[in-house]
Amino acid sequence: MRFMILLALSIGLALGLGAWTADRALEMSADLGTVEVGPWRANPLGGSPDADPYSRAVLARIGNLTLGGGEGISFRANADSAGRPLMRQCSYGLAGQTPLARVWTLAAYLPDGLLVDPGEGRPGWLVSRSLMRAEDNSAVMTVGPRAAPGNWLSVTGSGEFTLALTLYDTPASTSSGVASLVLPTLTRGDCRDG
């Protein structure tokens, strides 16, 4: 009986330590192949056959379907341009040019990967083809809980969120195209109480 208890304890310990070290390895390697442009981060090889094994494991763990190399690239921002976490109770201004792409979208996600509730009757994303633009083709956007003139992405609730800027059919999806990218800045505006 003592042998069976020791065997069960050893197997449990081995499985527990193995799962912990695998999870830790995936967390530590999450930045492999990641490109940073201001507050925006992307892995241009994430959906390609050339992706490293750790990137594939991270994508399999979160169940995220990525765009292939020729389809596009998704940039995510968890913080504003000053490095502060994005909070749903704050407003943010996005200003600047977006890279050349046939179409791009901007959406807000919760930490668990679900879309942030935009509120009743409001879309949960902005699409490049339906934005108001300046004469130089730039678009100023606002993300926040309060209505704003122009291009506004509504977010509700409180807590952290992630913005995803996804470029479809773009030269930026290649590793050589990412090097010269300029993406919009994210500037925090006013915040309402939690």
Secondary structure (DSSP) of the chain: -HHHHHHHHHHHHHHHHHHHHHHHHHHHTTTTT-EEETTEEE-TTTTSTT--HHHHHHHHHHTPPPPPTTTEEEEEESB-TTSPBPBTTEEEEEES-----SEEEEEEE-TTSPBPP--TT--SEEEGGG----TTS---EEEESS--SSEEEE--SSSB-EEEEEEES-GGGSHHHHTT----EEEEEEE---
Residue pLDDT, tens place only, 113-123: 788 888 888 88
> For residues 25 and 58, which has the higher predicted lDDT (pLDDT)?
25
Domain residue spans of the chain:
1-30, 35-191
pLDDT band at 108 (very low <50, low <70, confident <90, very high): very high
Cα 168 from Cα 104, distance rounded (Å):
6
CATH fold of 35-191, please?
Jelly Rolls (2.60.120)
- Residue 35: name the closest of 7, 79, 87, 75 by CA: 75
Residue pLDDT, tens place only, 88-99: 999 999 988 777
Mean pLDDT value of segment 6-13: 89
| Cβ atoms 105, 99 nearer than 8 A | no
- Residue 34: name the closest of 178, 159, 185, 194 by CA: 178
Mean pLDDT value of segment 32-36: 68
In the prediction, which pLDDT does 74 show? 82
Q: Is the pLDDT of residue 25 over 70?
A: no
Mean pLDDT value of segment 163-177: 73
In the prediction, which pLDDT does 167 show? 85
pLDDT band at 160 (very low <50, low <70, confident <90, very high): very high
In the prediction, which pLDDT does 133 show? 82
In the prediction, which pLDDT does 47 show? 57
Q: Which amino acid is at 39?
A: P
Q: Is the pLDDT of residue 50 over 80?
A: no
pTM for the model stands at 0.73
